[in-house]
Amino acid sequence: MKGFSERALVSDVLNWLRQRTVSTGSEEVVAAELLGRILEDAVVAGIDVPSFDRSAMDGYAVQAESTDGASLYNPLSFLITGQALPGTPHSGSVDANTAVRIMTGAPVPDGATCVVPAEHATESDGQVEITQAVPIGRHIGKRGEDVVQGQRLLNAGRQLRPQDIALIGSLGLDRATVVRRPRVRLLITGDELVIPGQTKAAGQIFESNSLMLAGLVQRDGGELENPLPCEPVSDQRVVIAEMLTRPGADIILVSGGSSVGTEDHAPTLVSELGQLVFHGVAMRPSSPSGIGQVGDALVFLLPGNPVSCLCAYDIFAGEAIMRLGGRPAGWPYGRIQGVLDERIVSDIGRLDYCRVSITDSADPSISPLAISGASILSSTTRADGFVLVPADLEGYAAGTRVEAWRYDTPNNHPGELK
């Protein structure tokens, strides 16, 4: 057992990953499952929406010219010749001094050039008296007023929202072509791990990293290969090797066994079965992280300590999953500027991920949490976010204005970590 002889720079690892993470192809997905998916192809309207002139009011379809002079003191009478309902159009046409009873959304009959709202009409004995003149086109939704055939509506690369899916459905489409989500395999190692809900023996701990990683993968647009609860894998070379070489995954997230201990088999196996490009990164926490490739799958060796696992995932694996899934790569957390009320100490040559609390104010105060242990998972729930200290600084002095990232605020201006 020996330590790391050298540690890779975070920027070097990211540059290597960015050259190898492009979208993973496309697939057709039914409309009911499109939420949050990334469009592979632009959506172009194949029809006009609406495809017919339709009433915007409940009332009476008439020829506008026939209403000239109508008022409360001079009501004009029209013969009702039928009605038009949504989905049941009137089969005849409208002539001068005739009217068709019409409901909102119903097709406007031939010959009609306006709709008189019901509040300006009184119906009796097959006649309707109209008390207001209505101009041509009033209260009629014209064909194509929403969407015109041939119009480009949604561009490739768009992450679909509920209203986008509704628009796709309004074109008569029941599916769309989207970027295939990267398939992610969780490989949680450790003889000491027990699934929550089961009975643990002395010296064992409940496994929780899979729950965190599953949520992060889904947040970033990946598709989990193995359902939860995730069964931990024993620290045996043959078992870990089988999980690394089994086909079907685009990304394999290995949690635990990533360092240089006698039971840390994953780095050696990645090197033997594929390529271990980086092992040991100049960052704190997460320095035992590793990145490589086995077959077609990118492999991320994430430390078993939960804070380190979260940090390594966010900096490396999360971006890779977003890129493979066609999403813009960038931190998923909101950025905020604030003033440090205590100093942050770091070392030149490494990136530091410092958990902080952030006050809710116009000019926030940012306080580093007095916790250094990477195994203290609760520190990430007590923290409002984190500050990154770049490798070329020895930290930040108290009173320095710094940039922090908030866990609970979405990032509206994503940008890559440099």
87 and 191 assigned to the same domain:
no
102 and 153 assigned to the same domain:
no
What is the mean predicted confidence (pLDDT) over 53-80? 97
Instruction: For residues 211 and 126, give the distance between their C-alpha atoms in angstroms, rounded to a whole number.
Output: 69
Q: What is the 3-state secondary structure (H, E, C) of the chain?
A: CCCCCCCECHHHHHHHHHCCCCCCCEEEEEHHHCCCCEECCCEECCCCECCCCEECCCEEEECHHHHCCCECCECEEEEEEEEEECCECCCCECCCCEEEEECCCCECCECCCEEEEHHHEEEECCEEEECCCCCCCCCEECCCCCECCCCEEECCCCECCHHHHHHHHHCCCCEEEEECCCEEEEEEECCCEECCCCCCCCCCEECCHHHHHHHHHHHCCCEECCCCCCCCECCCHHHHHHHHHCCCCCEEEEECCCCCCCCCCHHHHHHHHCEEEEECECEECCCCCEEEEECCEEEEEECCCHHHHHHHHHHHHHHHHHHHCCCCCCCCEEEEEEEECCCEECCCCCEEEEEEEECCCCCCEEEECCCCCCCCCHHHHHCCEEEEECCCCCEECCCCEEEEEEEEEECCCCCCCC
What is the mean predicted confidence (pLDDT) over 61-71? 97
- Provide the CA 94 distance to its chain's centre, in angstroms: 50
397 and 346 assigned to the same domain:
yes
Structurally, the chain folds into a number of domains equal to: 4
Asked if 196 contacts 153 with a C-beta cutoff of 8 angstroms, the reply is no
The per-residue pLDDT for 64 is 97
210 and 279 assigned to the same domain:
yes
End residue of a domain, out of 124, 157, 179? 179
What is the mean predicted confidence (pLDDT) over 41-68? 96
Within a domain: 3: no
pLDDT band at 234 (very low <50, low <70, confident <90, very high): confident
191 and 259 assigned to the same domain:
yes
The per-residue pLDDT for 1 is 44
Residue-range definition of the domain harbouring residue 249: 10-25+181-324
What is the mean predicted confidence (pLDDT) over 103-109? 97
Within a domain: 95: yes
217 and 130 assigned to the same domain:
no
219 and 303 assigned to the same domain:
yes
Say if residue 329's pLDDT is above 90. no
201 and 173 assigned to the same domain:
no
Whole-angstrom CA distances from 402 to 72, 187, 241, 358, 386 are 70, 36, 44, 12, 11
The per-residue pLDDT for 372 is 59
The per-residue pLDDT for 367 is 93
What is the mean predicted confidence (pLDDT) over 88-109? 96
Say if residue 382's pLDDT is above 50. yes
The per-residue pLDDT for 328 is 85
Say if residue 94's pLDDT is above 90. yes
Within a domain: 305: yes
Within a domain: 203: yes
Question: Which of the residue ranges 109-123, 179-193, 204-218, 403-417 would you say has the lowest mean pLDDT?
Answer: 403-417
Within a domain: 417: no
221 and 189 assigned to the same domain:
yes
The per-residue pLDDT for 376 is 65
What is the mean predicted confidence (pLDDT) over 113-129? 97
Within a domain: 404: yes
pLDDT band at 203 (very low <50, low <70, confident <90, very high): confident
Count of C-beta atoms within a 10 Å radius of residue 91? 9
Within a domain: 274: yes
pLDDT for 353-380, tens place per residue? Answer: 999 999 988 889 999 987 655 556 677 7
Asked if 341 contacts 367 with a C-beta cutoff of 8 angstroms, the reply is yes
195 and 105 assigned to the same domain:
no
307 and 203 assigned to the same domain:
yes
End residue of a domain, out of 269, 289, 324? 324
The per-residue pLDDT for 404 is 93
Residue 194 maps to which CATH number? 3.40.980.10
pLDDT band at 396 (very low <50, low <70, confident <90, very high): very high
Within a domain: 418: no
Residue 162 maps to which CATH number? 3.90.105.10
Say if residue 397's pLDDT is above 70. yes
End residue of a domain, out of 141, 159, 193? 141
Asked if 171 contacts 43 with a C-beta cutoff of 8 angstroms, the reply is yes
85 and 35 assigned to the same domain:
no
Structure tokens at 293: 């490739």
